[in-house]
Amino acid sequence: MLTKIYSASIQGIDAFPVTIETDGCSGALFSIVGLPDTAVKESHQRMMSAITHSGVKFPRKGITINLAPADIKKEGAAFDLPMAIGVLTACGTVCADNLADFMIMGELSLDGSVLPVKGALPMAVKARELGFKKLIVPEANVTEAAVVNKIEVYGVACLADAIALVSGTSTLEPTVINTREIFAMEAENSGLDFSEVKGQDSVKRAFEVACAGGHNLLMIGPPGAGKSMMAKRIPSILPPLSLAEALETTKIHSVAGKLSRGSMLMARRPFRTPHHTLSPVALVGGGSSPMPGEISLAHNGVLFLDEFPEFPRQVLEVLRQPIEDRTITVARAKYTVNYPASFMLVASMNPCPCGYYGHPTKACTCSPGAVTRYMNRISGPLLDRIDLQVEIQPVSFDDMADTSPAESSEAIRERVIKARSLQQLRFQGERGIHCNAQMNSRLIHKYAWPDAEGLAKLKERMTKLNMSARAFDRILRVARTIADLDGADNVLARHIAEAIGYRSLDRGNYGKAF
């Protein structure tokens, strides 16, 4: 008897349907075809033990399983559960007349329990797109998959539960989640607040500008100046995720297996802080079985690289293309996957190896050559792609002893949200453009071109500092954001002046600044 069970697999951050065709015939041969990987081939042993421990006798027949489409490699253990049900229905052990209504996925343990899988959310999205009425997932993934409405999502704890569902004898109810209500409840502040930061008003202003326009930012300062402490508070002033952004972000983390048990939609923007020992593949994604890297896990959020010059040169250089294109393409012999990578890069570094070059009270012990070599670990093309380059000085004793409350993150966030709303209106007809940092040359000329005084000031500074054409565009993008925060319709000279002040590490000024 030939049966068809429907499941799905992951490619990139999206799912594609897989039809599991099972044929029970005479003989004793068990075979799986359709480009299965090792994990899929080993499912035979898991299915035998799981079926036996579920109180059902494993069929003594020849069984052939085909995973269609047969020309795409099938990876992972998510096919265990649908293949086991396919074997039982093909051999007549289980009677199920409505298999076409179900999409099924899950890994089997030897005792028959169903283990969680990666990518349950994009699989649920694909099931709804294809018109399936019901979805069976592991119990640990049910809240994640139930975020998708207009489809009945059942979480099963064991193989016996899944058998009862497809045979129509189960009393299990579908999981229902009010997505918008849960999303609103989860979208709360992390608890870190800029009101706890003493002094550093100019740095806070740079953070506000960066978050308002989605700009990349680099902090340069001595140890203990508060670089990491302030960076960790960036999520508290970023605008909240929209429902569409939350869904896309959650899909990426679901595919990467980064969601904890019982997770639903991610309501807070990601804040990724990889260590400087990570590899290029870990940063951008890929591998023998491609998975999202740190830049994709930071999509719609922040990628914070502490001790920036300590990262290997080859790791830093692979950031250049994703920063510009906001996507990363991983190519393999038979397929290509695209991962979104629209992140805000925030980095911090010391000004020299000892950390005290330019310190107001401590002397630097580095030679001038050592300082230059240390700063040159970051290439000019990469620095060009960082919109704001901010120098940080240690907090004075008077600032630390000041007990008056500083401006809260909530107050800063209100201004950031107001500026972002102006940008959303401005770019509502532009596909893929949501903030000033994403403007191309055409949009810069249309929305960020300065007045005559501002243009003259920009020409003077660019000539003096020998800035690149890319730095020219970056300055205008930042100036447009400053104008938005100022409530100005046009970019004025004062906006250009402030934006130029955030370019202290451009190549022409590199040695002079340090």
DSSP assignment string, 244-282: HHHHHHHHHHHHTT-PPTT-----S--EE---TT--HHH
Please check the confidence at residue 128 and state whether its pLDDT lies above 90.
Answer: yes
What 3-state class would DSSP assign to 341?
Answer: coil
CA distances from 193 to 229, 230, 272, 389, 391 (A): 10, 9, 18, 22, 21
Q: How sure is the predictor about 5, in pLDDT bands with cuts at 50, 70 and 90?
A: very high
Q: Which helix or strand (DSSP H or E) is residue 51 part of?
A: helix 43-53
Span 205-231, mean pLDDT?
Answer: 92
User: Shortest CA distance to 87 belongs to which of 167, 21, 42, 35?
Assistant: 21
Q: How sure is the predictor about 273, in pLDDT bands with cuts at 50, 70 and 90?
A: very high
What is the model's pLDDT at position 355?
A: 86
Span 421-436, mean pLDDT?
Answer: 91
Neighbours of 372 (CB within 10 A): 14
Question: What is the maximum alpha-carbon separation in the chain?
Answer: 87
What is the model's pLDDT at position 508?
A: 44
What is the model's pLDDT at position 188?
A: 59
Please check the confidence at residue 419 and state whether its pLDDT lies above 90.
Answer: yes
Q: Strand 302-305 and strand 344-349: pairing?
A: parallel
What is the model's pLDDT at position 296?
A: 95
Neighbours of 156 (CB within 10 A): 23
Span 199-204, mean pLDDT?
Answer: 86
Q: What percent of the chain has pLDDT over 90?
A: 55
Range from 81-85, 167-171, 474-478 carrying the lowest mean pLDDT: 167-171
Map tokens 């809240």 to a residue: 143
Q: What percent of the chain has pLDDT over 70?
A: 96
User: Tokens in use for 418?
Assistant: 């107001």
User: Does the CA dihedral 480-482-484-487 come out positive or negative?
Assistant: negative
User: Tokens in use for 204?
Assistant: 């806070």
What are the pLDDT digits (tens) for 16-43?
A: 999 999 988 766 688 999 999 999 999 9
What is the model's pLDDT at position 363?
A: 87
Span 270-293, mean pLDDT?
Answer: 90
Q: Which residues, other chains included, contact 442 with Cβ-Cβ below 8 Å and sequence gap of 6+?
A: none
User: Shortest CA distance to 352 belongs to which of 340, 334, 366?
Assistant: 366
Span 68-84, mean pLDDT?
Answer: 92
Map tokens 């079985």 to a residue: 289
What is the model's pLDDT at position 93?
A: 84
Rg of the chain, C-alpha, whole Å: 28
Please check the confidence at residue 373 and state whether its pLDDT lies above 70.
Answer: yes
Q: How sure is the predictor about 121, in pLDDT bands with cuts at 50, 70 and 90?
A: very high
172: left (phi over 0), alpha (psi -120 to 50) or beta: beta
Please check the confidence at residue 478 and state whether its pLDDT lies above 70.
Answer: yes
What is the model's pLDDT at position 29?
A: 83
Please check the confidence at residue 480 and state whether its pLDDT lies above 90.
Answer: yes
Range from 101-110, 351-360, 494-503 carrying the lowest mean pLDDT: 351-360
Map tokens 């250049």 to a residue: 320
User: Tokens in use for 429?
Assistant: 């007809």
Q: Which helix or strand (DSSP H or E) is residue 24 part of?
A: strand 14-25
Q: How sure is the predictor about 397, in pLDDT bands with cuts at 50, 70 and 90?
A: confident
What are the pLDDT digits (tens) for 299-357?
A: 999 999 999 999 999 999 999 999 988 999 888 767 788 899 999 999 999 988 998 88
Taking the C-alpha atoms of residue 83 and residue 102, their distance in angstroms, rounded to an integer, is 13
* Contact of 390 with 206, CB cutoff 8 Å: yes
CA distances from 115 to 57, 78, 124 (A): 21, 9, 17
Q: How sure is the predictor about 512, in pLDDT bands with cuts at 50, 70 and 90?
A: very low
Please check the confidence at residue 510 and state whether its pLDDT lies above 60.
Answer: no
